[in-house]
Amino acid sequence: MGEAREVMDRITAALDAQDVEAAAECYAADAVAETPDQGEIRGREAIAEYFRQLAEPFPDGRYERQHGHESGNVAIDEGYFVGTHTAPLPLPSGESVQATGKQIRVRSCDIVSVEDGLVTSHRFYFDQMEFFGQLGLLPEMPS
């Protein structure tokens, strides 16, 4: 197992334990994250805040890895984010969605690039329609 895989596994373990600070320590101060919901996020502290905004509404949130890959300084995880929505979920608009009590299982893929033991780039991929649909927040489609 290489350095990139080790760092990715530390991030996943920290987030599964709801330890945002430990996850943040895995990122370079000037790391960049690309997300489907908030676009580009720059800096370790901003990335930690992104994690907090997901950890608080889903306190039992965890990642179920289906496949893990590594090549050089890049690690890739494919799997599912699973959790129960029990607290307000902040939206990029500044509004928030009140707790629905619904459990979700959303497909996702994460790609990290690591240099000198720290993440410099993290690309998150997940389907926002699937996420909001499982929370029951999408309008009913006519049949």
Per DSSP, the residues of the chain read --HHHHHHHHHHHHHHTT-HHHHHTTEEEEEEEEETTTEEEESHHHHHHHHHHHHTT-TT-EEEEEEEEEETTEEEEEEEEEEE--S-EE-TTS-EEPP---EEEEEEEEEEEEETTEEEEEEEEE-HHHHHHHTT-SPPPP-
Under the banding of pLDDT at 50, 70 and 90, the label for residue 8 is: very high
pLDDT in tens, 15-57: 999 999 999 999 999 999 999 999 999 999 999 999 999 999 9
Mean pLDDT of 96-125: 97
Can you give the pTM of this predicted structure? 0.92
What CATH number labels 3-134? 3.10.450.50
Residue 58, pLDDT score: 97
Domain boundaries, the chain: 3-134
